[in-house]
Amino acid sequence: MSITDTDTDTGTETEIDTGTDTGTDTDTDSDTVSWNPKALGEILSNDEGRPVLFTNARILTMDPLIGTMTGADLLFVGSLVVGVGPAIVTAAQDDNAIVVDCTGMTIAPAVVDTVALAGGRGHRSEYVATLTPGNTPDFLVVPDELAADVPSAVATLMTRPEQVSALVAAGRPVLWAGTDAPGRATAPEAGIPASDDLTGSPRVGVWIDRNDFLHQELTADGRYDETRGGRPHAYQGRYWIDGDRIDYLDDLGFWAYGEFQGDELHHAGYVMKLG
């Protein structure tokens, strides 16, 4: 399918190729994707930060203000939804957007707010993971007949993933035409990982809260040791750092976490700095 755009200055017409096949199968003979293959390739190689537009879909935004739209577009740049609704495609050529034709498809949130589904949110601002401008583009693309509502769209993913046209997480394809997208992220292995050697890490040392009550020592072998109010070894255990997040597994068996914010470590209401 292609969309014709007329240049009002020159009177010339150009076409935006949106893919010609709306099926969700893959061609096993050639091992090529048959649902919007060109768009998939462009998204995977999108190093220039081009906008991505999923067009002509029924969109279940789960936003109580926006609601459900038909013949609508979902526009995102990187990991941010920037537009939702009809006629966004008219600017696709101007913005050099990657266009994904979703004729006959429904787009639904991939991260489901079950409290909202049950009517348990009192304010729109409390809704989680809606397909709303400003949110993260985590969504499913499923044939209309398999996505009467959000629960049925999610059920299709869980029970018949081969029927899912696309699963997108933070703007990157995870599934496409029912199969794993090239270069997709993989889930971490289940179980407690080995501790990393953190020798030389700037986060190793003794972290002290503002009131000098909590002293938390992080050692290079992935162990922590807390002194509370002068009481040594109040809590001890293992820790792991992933980005700015730190997870703790205490020797008593409970889990806790903290977050590095600049030169501060925030943990359980305490704000600490390296001593």
Looking from the CA of 102 toward its CB, the CA atoms found within 13 Å total: 32
pLDDT computed for residue 264 by the predictor: 98
pLDDT at 106 over 80: yes
Mean residue pLDDT of the chain comes to 90
pLDDT in tens, 25-47: 444 333 457 899 999 999 999 99
Q: How many CB atoms lie within 10 A of CB 268?
A: 11
Which of 110, 98, 108 lies closest to 37 in space, CA to CA?
A: 98
Choice among 192-196, 206-210, 236-240, 241-245 with the minimum mean pLDDT: 192-196
Structure token pair of residue 178: 């029912």
Position 34 scores a pLDDT of 84
Distance between CA atoms of residues 193 and 78, nearest Å: 31
Confidence of residue 195 (pLDDT cuts 50, 70, 90): confident
Cα separation, 141 vs 110, in Å, equals 9
Q: Return the pLDDT at 5.
A: 45
For residue 20, what are the contacts with CB-CB under 8 A and spacing of at least 6?
1
The predicted structure's pLDDT at residue 50: 97
Cβ atoms of 181 and 175 closer than 8 Å = yes
